[in-house]
Structure 1
Amino acid sequence: MFDKRLIKEIPEAKAYVKRQVLCQWIALIMNIIFTVGLSYTLVLLFQEQLTIEILMIGIVFAIILFVIRGIVLKKATQFSFAGASLVKKILRERLFKKILELGGHYQDYVATSELVQLGGEGINQLETYFALYLPQLFYSVLAPVTLFIIISFYDFMSALVLFLCVPMIPLSIVLIQKIAKKLLAKYWNSYTTLGDSFLENLQGLTTLKIYQSDEFKQKEMNKEAENFRKVTMRVLIMQLNSISVMDIVAYGGAGLGSYFAITHYMYQEISLFIALFIILLSFEFFIPLRQLGSFFHIAMNGIAASEKLFRVFDIEHQQSGKFDFKEGDFGLCVDQLSFQYTKEQPLLKEVSFQIKPNQFVGIVGESGSGKSTIAKLIMGYHQDYQGEIRIQTHQRYDIDDTVFFNHFVYMTHDPMIFKGTLRENIDMLNQYQDKEIWEALEKVNLASFFHQHNGLQTLLLESGSNLSGGQKQRLNLARAILKNGDVYIFDEATSNIDVESENAILEVIKDLSKEKTILFITHRLSSVIDCDDILVMKQGELIEQGTHQQLKAQNGVYAQMFTKQAKLEVYQG
């Protein structure tokens, strides 16, 4: 089981594989020399000619051989580790570069959970493929050939019998591989399916709890986990059965070779020394391939992982942005925009609107109405939409992502806070002065809080667990302020936070709207009263548009939602 493309894709690993095989071959030569000495010693013992002097010389000689063998096997392990580390580094770099090449819309081609699994477990499987299986594969060919050449000088027939029995092991492996190929495909499909469900349910755990659907999803995941367990057990059973088959072949072949050697000795065709030499070395013919068979499941998993990895590497980037922005204002035109993950479930249906430079536009609607989908399409997270998203004179997918992100800032309700200092979180590229950072923190009402602690060296825990939800969101807003973009997209930036934080964020957004283009997405209608234009979404369609006063006067969906929310807020005090 040998994938030529894997070797071609990582030519740097060849040198480490060759060195590892060479070290294993030298260790085999040491074994052969030791067997010669042991056979000679046993013959002398049988003939009652063994002396203390000869025995001591033999022991010293054996120690030297074992030391050399130990050194080369240690070097083989070192080459294995170095080669595996190199493979892992190269593959992860290539995978990361491919994701960067695909840009924010990589999800059009491959699921995030699959990328996570490939980057972790998948590449680890390929690491062991290069570190263990591949060197053993080449050594398993070299070792029997070496032994055949040496033994044939003493007893050609016994050497030939042993050599002809060796291919029985790879033949059994090929037969098992045909059975196992579909099984391993099921294993990886089950693995990725379970990973998809786990990631999706984990991300939506709060929503599942709110709608009391967590028990249903738990049962669904239990079924997938049970399916994965059954497939894993079948893989393990197959592996154990394959080992049993190889053991039968190995012991049978060694026994047959020994039988021929003993028969030739009884007919005085060879000496006792040669007979002992062949018997002691007979199993050495099969040990390398027997060891290769134990790595069989590693190879199968490695090949299965490589196929998935190569599918990602082979993705052709359909549209690659090349255009830059012209100096000037940043307007946005959305025309007949439609989008769906599946034909049966359209998320947007022919949505059209225009955002003028320095305009403050709000998008409102119930959950699932398509508000956030619009933001994600503008940000370039998906390119397989119908219609147009034009910025200045270019389609969104024709604009270089690096250029785009220099001018557009996207802020969601779930900020990413890393474990580290405040400065490391707010200024990751170390490009702002302390004064600028404190000014941004002052605007979001966080300066006094961090002054009371350790200033910019205040340690933040993973996911900002030592901050409140509102503080994390305000910290995220401080990042956005420092970025100083031309267009700001706030996607539910004020949801699930305290009133103090919400008011602080709204004040900053209103202040930014005086000189920046703002797209403000929210489910809370009281937050968009001051917007220059409000878009009302329902089931993927733009059903109403206008200012707060205009929409109230229409007495339509917006007016009903606004009245309903106002009554609810009064009721909640």
Structure 2
Amino acid sequence: MSTEKRLARYALTSKGTILIALLMLSIAVAVELTGPFIAKTIIDRHISGIEQPWYESEQHDQSVAYNGTYYTRDAYLENDAWRGEEVQILQIGTQFYFTTSPVPTDGERLYQDGTLTVDRHDGTYTTEAASLDPQEVLAFYEPEIHFIIRWLLLYLGIVFVASFFHYGQNFYLKKAAHKIIQRMRVDVFNQLSKVPVRYFDHQPAGKIVARITNDTEAVRELYMTVLATFFSSFIYIIGIYVALFLLDSRLAFMTLALLPILFIWFKLYRKFAAGLNRSIRAKNAEINASMNENVHGMKMIQAFNQEKQQFESFEELNQAHYRYQAKLLNLNSLTSHNLTFVVKNIVFVALIWWISGGTAGLITLGVLYAFVDYINRLFEPVNQVMNQLANLEQARAAGARVFELLDEDGEDVDEATIPRPNGDVSFQNVQFAYIEGEPVLKQLSFHAKQGETIALVGHTGSGKSSIMNLLFRFYDPTNGTIKIDGIDTKHHSPQAWRSHMGIVLQEPYLFSGSIASNIAYGKPDATRKEIEAAVHLVGGTDLFNKNGLDEHVTEKGSTLSSGQRQLISFARALLANPAILVLDEATSSIDTETELLIQKGMQTLKQNRTTFVIAHRLSTIQDADQIIVLDKGEIREQGTHEELLNRKGVYAQMYKLQQGQAS
């Protein structure tokens, strides 16, 4: 499904609100577009209308006294009213003239020595005429003033009505946009919990964050601004063309030539802008990833004096982003206001030629004014659409990136539960590869009985962490089976098994909040007493003495010592009461004094649960029930500490090296 269709599907989730907004927008546009018609009526009927036929009449509200005689415009005389001699008022420049012998109104007018001349293509017409002074002109306009005031009050009311409906459509469209993006961000965040861990292995955190924040923000702009602009502009253009045809169909047909020009313009812009916007979004994500990496690695950067190199690397990304932005800016500058201005003036030139050449026939001043007004209004939505094309393409590029993440294969989070297993774990002929054709585990088989402690040792890359990844079902084996209590782990969801597993990492991850909330992370409903008991059992009671368990924890626990962070991790695992526990180099990064405290806590932690220990310091695993020595994904040796020393194999050599006994 295309990006546009998927964006439309998201829009349909708030279709009710959007339809209300569009209805209010249609009303606002319809009301607003009556303005030029009101202006046309005022000009033709009440301002230029003074040149329409006047008749000698009886005195009444619309009659005007001139030289002792009352005159009334034909438009204000009843059909059965008495009509006397027809008279005429003509305007030349700013001066008005009164004549009792009407002449044609179209043609070139001239007044000289009491004679008014109208020169037309079919001949010259003359009549005696008298010049009217300002007071007399005002008297002839006086019957029109209250009509003009009524029309102006109507127009003012229309402005208020249009403003109300514009406010409504703006409010409801923005409300719909916020709801749509809220739903999209929830979907994206939920997707992150469904995608396999391998996705995060190949995607920098900054790029993922950019998709959830920056890209969805660009999509929000689509629904809130671009959508509103396109819909309002479309309705405006339709409404304006309807009005143009009502005014003069011949002139309106001439303006229809704009539509194919605008369509070609739109298609060409999208063709060139789409690639630039995709590149801009990609570079923006790379900048986010670089910033994230630099912020988290600033200690190392400064420690190795790599500030200049990191700056140069960042500047290279920034410059690439700038180059794409500059190209897009050039494209927007060429195709936005400048091009609109040129096309609009071409239309006006054609309109003037059409009228001045007589091709359009006779049109009134009011029609001409309204037509020019509508043409100006026509280019406002056109210009707005062209100005929003850049945002449209940015939103399409951002939407495509968001949907790429949503399209990643994943599994729904299964909330089904299973009884607490005993913890009997067996690997049977397990093979696994992160990259096809490059196995990291080869025909691996071992059995961990309930309550045993299994130690995994070996050089870097031997497969220790891969075993843990398979056990937690972050990955599934390529071949072979993993069973817990004789049940293939694939028979239940990963979440069901993980609810009975705990892990303590070499670098424990702490979340923003309090120490207590971090300890209760695996058991959010834990009571305060349960949290305190877990801390006491792992020997951490005396290490938190400032604000106790309520001390605030910043991102990753940077204000706490390594020992404190590790104790929190141990207490977290103990409180969750897992049937299977994994200790991944859990004591390698803490001081000796804290390690002694933790070692006592570890004995408590291991009770009544199967424990897997990944260790490089062999002195910490001497009491393990089984020690499995791994090398390049295969088991080289297996047994207790004493058994392996007696074999004088790989384990014995590693142990002697660490004890400084190698010959």
TM range, smaller chain: 0.7 to 0.9
Q: Give, in angstroms, the shift of residue 87 of structure 1.
A: 0.6
> 1 or 2 for the larger relative contact order (CA 8 Å, sep ≥6)?
1
Counterpart in the other structure of 2:562 = 469
Counterpart in the other structure of 1:125 = 218
Counterpart in the other structure of 2:536 = 442
Q: Bigger CA drift: 98-107 or 357-366?
A: 98-107
Aligned mate of 1:390, from 483, 489, 504: 483
Counterpart in the other structure of 1:571 = none
Q: Does 1:489 align with 2:582?
A: yes
Deviations 1:425-484 (A, max 9, x none): 33356422222111111123333444x444444333343343222112211211111100
Q: Distance in 2 between matches of 1:2 and 1:64?
A: 43
Aligned mate of 1:548, from 641, 645, 648: 641
Change in Cα spacing, 1:259 to 1:492, as seen in structure 2 (3 Å) is: farther
Change in Cα spacing, 1:72 to 1:482, as seen in structure 2 (3 Å) is: same
Alignment of 1:73-88 (within 5 A): 73-88=166-181
Q: Give, in angstroms, the shift of residue 288 of structure 1.
A: 1.6
Q: Distance in 2 between matches of 1:209 and 1:332?
A: 45
Deviations 1:486-526 (A, max 9, x none): 00112222232233332222322223323211111133222
Deviations 1:347-405 (A, max 9, x none): 44444333222111122334444322322222122236444333233443442123112
Q: Does 1:243 align with 2:336?
A: yes
Q: Distance in 1 between matches of 2:640 and 2:191?
A: 44
Q: Does 1:15 align with 2:16?
A: yes
Counterpart in the other structure of 2:510 = 417
Q: Is contact 2:470-2:477 (8 Å) kept?
A: no
Q: Distance in 2 between matches of 1:56 and 1:564?
A: 104
Counterpart in the other structure of 2:26 = 25
Q: Does 1:136 align with 2:229?
A: yes
Q: Does 1:181 align with 2:182?
A: no
Counterpart in the other structure of 2:447 = 354
Q: Give, in angstroms, the shift of residue 26 of structure 1.
A: 3.3
Counterpart in the other structure of 1:4 = 5
Q: Is contact 2:355-2:361 (8 Å) kept?
A: no
Q: Is contact 2:336-2:387 (8 Å) kept?
A: yes
Q: Distance in 2 between matches of 1:29 and 1:196?
A: 49
The amino acid that maps onto 1:70 is S
Alignment of 1:86-235 (within 5 A): 86-102=179-195, 107=200, 113-196=206-289, 199=292, 222-235=315-328
Q: Give, in angstroms, the shift of residue 308 of structure 1.
A: 3.2
Q: Distance in 2 between matches of 1:218 and 1:541?
A: 43
Q: Give, in angstroms, the shift of residue 408 of structure 1.
A: 0.8
Alignment of 1:267-416 (within 5 A): 269-317=362-410, 328-343=421-436, 346-383=439-476, 385-416=478-509
Gap regions ≥5 residues in structure 1? 569-573
Q: Bigger CA drift: 93-102 or 408-417?
A: 93-102
The amino acid that maps onto 1:436 is E
Change in Cα spacing, 1:320 to 1:440, as seen in structure 2 (3 Å) is: closer
Per the normalisation by structure 1, the TM-score is 0.85
Deviations 1:51-84 (A, max 9, x none): 7767766665554333333322222221122111
Q: Is contact 1:533-1:546 (8 Å) kept?
A: yes
Counterpart in the other structure of 1:562 = 655
Counterpart in the other structure of 1:506 = 599
SS where residue 409 of structure 1 aligns?
Answer: strand
Q: Distance in 1 between matches of 2:209 and 2:261?
A: 39
Deviations 1:286-336 (A, max 9, x none): 222321221212221222233333344344548998997566522222244
The amino acid that maps onto 2:554 is L
Change in Cα spacing, 1:435 to 1:5, as seen in structure 2 (3 Å) is: closer
Change in Cα spacing, 1:93 to 1:558, as seen in structure 2 (3 Å) is: same
Q: Bigger CA drift: 157-166 or 547-556?
A: 547-556
Q: Bigger CA drift: 46-55 or 494-503?
A: 46-55
Q: Is contact 1:261-1:275 (8 Å) kept?
A: no
Q: Distance in 2 between matches of 1:414 and 1:72?
A: 58
Q: Is contact 2:3-2:400 (8 Å) kept?
A: no
The amino acid that maps onto 2:323 is K
Identity %: 22
Q: Bigger CA drift: 229-238 or 108-117?
A: 108-117
Counterpart in the other structure of 1:426 = 519
Q: Distance in 2 between matches of 1:487 and 1:105?
A: 23
CA-based RMSD of the aligned residues comes to: 3.7
SS where residue 295 of structure 1 aligns?
Answer: helix
Q: Distance in 2 between matches of 1:494 and 1:526?
A: 11
The amino acid that maps onto 2:13 is E
SS where residue 3 of structure 1 aligns?
Answer: helix
Q: Bigger CA drift: 483-492 or 101-110?
A: 101-110
Q: Is contact 1:321-1:397 (8 Å) kept?
A: no
Q: Distance in 2 between matches of 1:107 and 1:301?
A: 25
Change in Cα spacing, 1:45 to 1:412, as seen in structure 2 (3 Å) is: farther
More strand by share: 2
Per the normalisation by structure 2, the TM-score is 0.75
Q: Give, in angstroms, the shift of residue 27 of structure 1.
A: 3.4
Q: Is contact 1:491-1:522 (8 Å) kept?
A: yes
Residue correspondences, number = 567
Aligned mate of 1:531, from 624, 628, 634: 624
Q: Distance in 1 between matches of 2:504 and 2:485?
A: 22
Q: Bigger CA drift: 345-354 or 494-503?
A: 345-354
SS where residue 14 of structure 2 aligns?
Answer: helix
Q: Distance in 2 between matches of 1:169 and 1:475?
A: 64
Q: Distance in 2 between matches of 1:350 and 1:228?
A: 48
* Higher radius of gyration, 1 or 2: 2
Q: Is contact 2:462-2:633 (8 Å) kept?
A: yes
Q: Distance in 1 between matches of 2:633 and 2:565?
A: 30
Q: Distance in 2 between matches of 1:314 and 1:532?
A: 45
Q: Is contact 2:21-2:170 (8 Å) kept?
A: yes
Change in Cα spacing, 1:276 to 1:141, as seen in structure 2 (3 Å) is: same
Q: Give, in angstroms, the shift of residue 567 of structure 1.
A: 4.2
Q: Is contact 2:644-2:652 (8 Å) kept?
A: yes
